[in-house]
Amino acid sequence: MSAILTGIIPVAPTIFHDDESLDLDGQRRVVDFLVDSKVDALCILANYSEQFSLEDDERRRVIDATLEQAAGRVPVMVTTSHYSARVAARRTREAAEAGARLAMLMPPFFGATMSVGEDLVLDYFATVAEQSAIDIMVQDAPLSTTPLSVALLARLATEIPQVKYVKVEVPRAAAKIRALRTIAGADLPGVFDGEEGVTLIPDLHAGAIGTMASCTIPDVLGEVVRRFGSGDIDGATRAWNAVLPLIHFENRQCGLQAAKALLKEGGVIASDRVRAPLAPLPASTRAELLALADRARASVLGWAR
């Protein structure tokens, strides 16, 4: 079994040209930026990667380009969520065959009304696990209408050995993380938070071992987790507080467009295009984001210069 990952696992955006076609050269440059940022792994094809706007063939091309560019320098996580257990299992198997270290999936849901009961959630993840040997992260996100109780997450980890990770990004994340650490214990060692790290310090106090944020400040958040883990709680808290205005603005005012805007501003990518019907950031929002990033001395702004 692979060692449990800790630290920072940023979500890499899917890079497009201005005409919304894939920019795989830009995708590769994002990988290099993240490796230079000393990330512990990277994640592709997540919601923040606009996975919902990609065709299956485009998914495969992004996976291949990312794994080829990573070249074993960092582990790669592939998001393989789909309502269909059959499709999710195939996606996970293909990701494993391509070289992914682990897969992340939300529980099955569709729209605002189609959710799935607990036993069917268990069956879903069991089906995925049967077709691949890689570890699985369950994504506990507010986007899903299928609830994941602490008891269900603990049951998934107990009954499906490949479920070793969970990403908790729901309101009151710290309380849920603390309960998971108590109830699931060693069966679920890889507890991460999300939401750009906006509640990272409370979540680390609760027992999280890492964070899944965007590409905005991966080096800083990685250092926060490492300092906290080494016992330098005050230093970790100071480092987090210093960038919290930027994190909060990204989380509450920008969304997934923020990382692309900063990657473009720093010359990592040529276009910050998002696929319609998503829209670019308003000029005023973008200006505020850049000012906060400059104030935080975000390395993304200088990496390519």
- For 91, counting Cβ atoms within 10 Å of its Cβ (0-12 exposed, 13-18 middle, 19+ buried), the class is buried
Catalytic machinery residues: 167
Distance separating alpha carbons of residues 52 and 41, to the nearest angstrom: 22
CA distances to 36, 46, 56, 239, 284 from 94, in Å: 27, 16, 11, 39, 42
Which 8-state DSSP code applies to residue 84?
A: S
- For 207, counting Cβ atoms within 10 Å of its Cβ (0-12 exposed, 13-18 middle, 19+ buried), the class is middle
Distance separating alpha carbons of residues 264 and 215, to the nearest angstrom: 12
Within the chain, residue ranges assigned H as helices are 24-36, 56-70, 85-98, 118-130, 150-159, 173-183, 200-206, 218-230, 233-249, 257-265, 283-295
CA distances to 19, 59, 299 from 52, in Å: 18, 10, 29
